Structure 1
Amino acid sequence: MPQHYARRLLASERTAEGNAHLGWMLAFVAGATNAGGFLAVQQYTSHMTGMVSAAADGLVLGRAQALATALGALLSFGAGAACTALLVHFGRRRRAHSVFALPLLLEAACLLLFGLLGAWLAGLRALFIPAAVAVLCFTMGLQNALITKVSRAEIRTTHVTGIVTDLGIELGRRLCGAGADAARLRLLGGLLLAFAVGGLAGAWAFKVMGYAATLPLAALLALLGGVPALDDLGRLRAR
């Protein structure tokens, strides 16, 4: 990945183009993580709607394990979002180039951890599944909070309900002659396509490679976030 491109995607001063490109890339990662993760733990972890319903079902039906897993997933997702807010605040106070890179580097580490958990603990399903779900939900919380802050809540990458809704609104505007926003249609269509392609790639990679399928995703995020982080290290050494 060219260094200037990574710097542009994660620059402190945001542009609509930079937000779109970063959103498409992260939507691909989220789609791959969600689909591949499902093959590992039989749960989708990129969105919390189903987890809230699972918690309600577990409580009403007296399924303590399902309730605990769902509540743990919700807490982990929220903790990931809070962690992104803390890292961005930390970077901004220090006027760092890597203000948006730190959450991506942590996300890369979490995906690597998920791969290692799978390699070490896959045989211990009672221990592995809750731990893996927590790691994946924390990872998705990190990413969703990051793109929310970067785009001022205009872009989401870990779920597509809002994307499909907004696409429908724009198409409805065009059909009734009100005129659709072409740039927004391109953004939304790209997010939906990236998530879908990521899902196909993630499912295929997990089927072929197993838990090692997380390594390319972790490497992509590490390369993307590593450039601004190295820039900040260079600044510190130069002082």
Structure 2
Amino acid sequence: MSGIVSSLADNVALGDMNVAVAGLSSLLSFLVGAATSAILINWGRRRRLQSQYAMPLMLEASLLLIFGVLGSNLESHHVLFVPATVCLLCYVMGLQNAMITKVSKAEIRTTHVTGLVTDIGIELGKLFYWNVGAMPGNLVCGDRQKLKLLGSLLLSFLVGGLTGAVGFRHLGFASTVPLAIVLVTLAVVPIVDDVRGYRG
């Protein structure tokens, strides 16, 4: 979203309002996705549901399935100068980012790499900092577990991006269908458990 916001500002300054409105619609789609995720999670949390995180995941999976099946048709429809596919994907990214942010208690963001690489750099700086002459209570130490987690997330971004690009190149929009099915499979169990518990 950083790029979209800076592009939006740039295009407003240049007077290119069509592109600025397109950026705004992408930003708003992400924002509404994040808000939707928070609403679903908080609703589930208040009711002490096991599926509090599965609900936004199921919505995400369903939307990815729609994207995979109808993507080429959605591409021709526009929402404020942007293809509907862009708005849909921004909405899904907002859902995903908010869900993981809530699950991880704001430790992890899943839709941007900048913060991830920054955190890796910080941890590496702490890890390689030499504590010559430092008092025992003032030692700078890197968190190897956090570094491992951040590194695996960065690698996942890379592998996921590569897989998505190759998949889209060969299968088009349908390349998201297997991922959507996996996400549905992950989300359905806690939702079914909650439905059974509600009936029982």
Provide TM-score, normalisation by structure 1: 0.75
Aligned partner of 2:101 in structure 1 is 148
RMSD: 1.7
Structure 1 unaligned spans of 5+: 1-47
Corresponding position: 1:118 with 2:80: no
Q: Which has the higher contact order (CA 8 A, sep 6+)?
A: 1
**Cα displacement (A) at 1:91:** 0.6
Counterpart amino acid of 2:108?
I
1:59-138 to structure 2, matched below 5 A, reads 59-122=12-75, 124=76, 129-138=82-91
Structure 1 CA distance for aligned equivalents of residues 26 and 69 of structure 2? 19
Counterpart amino acid of 1:69?
A
Once the two structures are superposed, residues 125-150 of structure 1 have per-residue CA deviations (whole angstroms, 9 ceiling, x without a partner) of 75794311111111000111111111
Aligned partner of 2:157 in structure 1 is 195
Cα pair 1:206 1:212 within 8 Å, conserved: yes
Structure 1 CA distance for aligned equivalents of residues 42 and 128 of structure 2? 43
Provide TM-score, normalisation by structure 2: 0.89
Structure 2 CA distance for aligned equivalents of residues 237 and 174 of structure 1? 52
**Cα displacement (A) at 1:225:** 0.8
- 2:9 pairs with one of 56, 63, 70: 56
Number of aligned residues = 190
Cα pair 1:147 1:155 within 8 Å, conserved: yes
Structure 2 CA distance for aligned equivalents of residues 79 and 120 of structure 1? 23
Counterpart amino acid of 1:225?
A
Aligned partner of 1:159 in structure 2 is 112
Cα pair 1:76 1:141 within 8 Å, conserved: yes
Cα pair 1:69 1:130 within 8 Å, conserved: no
- 1:207 pairs with one of 156, 169, 177: 169
The verdict on how the C-alpha distance between 1:74 and 1:176 changes in structure 2, with shifts beyond 3 A counting, is: same
Aligned partner of 1:171 in structure 2 is 124
Cα pair 2:26 2:87 within 8 Å, conserved: yes
Aligned partner of 1:186 in structure 2 is 148
Structure 2 CA distance for aligned equivalents of residues 69 and 111 of structure 1? 21
Once the two structures are superposed, residues 178-204 of structure 1 have per-residue CA deviations (whole angstroms, 9 ceiling, x without a partner) of 332111111110110011100000000
The verdict on how the C-alpha distance between 1:107 and 1:63 changes in structure 2, with shifts beyond 3 A counting, is: same
Q: Sequence identity of aligned pairs in percent?
A: 53
Corresponding position: 1:225 with 2:191: no
Structure 2 unaligned spans of 5+: 131-139
